A = this chain, B = another copy of it.
Amino acid sequence: MQTDTATKTTAEQRRAFYERMAPHHLAPLWEVLRGLITPEPRSDCRAALWRYDEVRPFLLESAEIISAREAERRVLVLENPGLPGQSRITTSLYAGLQLIMPGEVAPAHRHAQSALRFIVEGSGGFTAVDGEKTYMSPGDFVITPSWTWHDHGHEGEGPMIWLDGLDIPLVRALDCSFAEGYGEAAHPLTRPAGDSLARFGSGLLPVDYEPVSRTSPVFNYPYSRTREALEVMRRSKEWDPCHGLKVQYVNPASGDYAMPTIGAFMQLLPRGFGSEPYRSTDATVYSVVEGSGRTMIGEEILAWGPRDILVVPSWTRHWHQADTDAVLFSFSDRPVQKKLGLWREDRGNH
């Protein structure tokens, strides 16, 4: 019987066969199948924490090393310890801390990659997107949509620092990167500051509005507003056992995530809250806005305070403890996984 014959081949016979076909760009699936299609998510991405007081001195030192203009973007990439040299914080996402000093300019460019900025320190800095400027304060969530001109500047005092999150590895996996420089430091301004927030972020849309993109037309979600909303919501005392009080930023023109490739979230853990274990398939980057506590990720305990950044890998059970009222910003590729029917979550310890 054929099956019997087949299984009697020796390892050498097989190897010889593989070598003969390799020049034809053919390879035996059965030798790699288990590694390609794993029973559960299994990447090299690891849990990690960046303490802000450790990272900040390097960031400030970088201002001595290179100007924002020369660097184009003066950013220290947060490299996942399990993915060194790959400019990735998870398998699909990039993160870095960007610094801009008073008077500096990060010149105008655009790219297919979508970017979020989560402001960590400073005031007086601004991002201009497609002709509208927005000034940034800590806790603000700012978007530069795919293929929109954007530049950054700083009209205030002291360092201006934010967390950048981009979908660079995902765009690379899809092989569809595009980029171009504007040629000048700043793209011309065509709208007054605050216009997009008023126009799209007030429960209203322009009459008979048709969206031109999948990204939110609101490009700054100010922390003052987000924080106030959380305070109102906490009055109803509905705490999710895994998340405390957790919300996601949305595109008011669609009700979908604010960005098509990156989901962004804000979460309030009240003082003394200890969450139940949780895991989901979207590896997640956290930025601590307020408070302190710790997150248990598998066997690891990561203690955090304000401005620290941590990453939780895909499908890794984790839970939080808050010593004080804590506010955590986070982002992941959840919108992609949901759109593709791939996202899973798992609550508790079962």
Contact = CB atoms under 8 A, between A and B. Distances in A.
Interface of A: 2-3, 5-7, 9, 13-14, 17, 20-21, 24-30, 32-33, 36-43, 45, 48, 50, 54-55, 58, 61-81, 84-85, 87, 90-92, 94, 96, 101, 103-104, 111-113, 146, 168-180, 191-192, 194-195, 197-199, 201-209, 211, 213-215, 218, 221, 225-226, 228-230, 232-233, 235-236, 240, 243, 246-255, 258, 260-261, 265-266, 281-283, 313-315, 333, 336-337, 339-344
A76 B250 contact: no
Contacts of A246: 206-207
Contact of A168 (B37, B171, B172, B247): B37
A9 B225 CA distance: 42
Contact of A202 (B101, B229, B235, B282): B229
Given A29-B71, A50-B25, A229-B199, A177 B40 contact: yes
B341 A260 contact: yes
17 contacts: A3-B104, A6-B70, A7-B70, A25-B50, A37-B179, A41-B178, A92-B174, A112-B342, A170-B340, A176-B281, A178-B344, A197-B232, A199-B247, A207-B247, A250-B252, A255-B255, A336-B336
B207 A342 contact: no
Given A64-B5, A225-B203, A25 B81 contact: yes
A29 B77 contact: yes
Contacts of A72: 30, 33
A255 B251 contact: yes
A178 B96 CA distance: 30
A62 B233 CA distance: 40
B198 A232 contact: yes
A35 B252 CA distance: 34
A101 B2 contact: yes
A170 B203 CA distance: 26
Nearest to A231: B198
Given A66-B14, A73-B30, A255-B254, A92 B175 contact: yes
Given A3-B104, A41-B175, 11 more contacts: A7-B67, A17-B58, A17-B65, A24-B55, A27-B79, A33-B73, A37-B113, A38-B178, A90-B175, A192-B235, A206-B247
B24 A71 contact: no
Nearest to A204: B247
Contacts of A195: 232-233, 235-236
Contact of A179 (B38, B50, B171, B342): B38
Contacts of A198: 228-230, 232-233
A85 B84 CA distance: 20
Given A203-B226, A206-B246, A29 B236 contact: no
A226 B202 contact: yes
Greatest chain B CB density within 10 A among A20, A80, A207 is at A207
Contacts of A194: 232
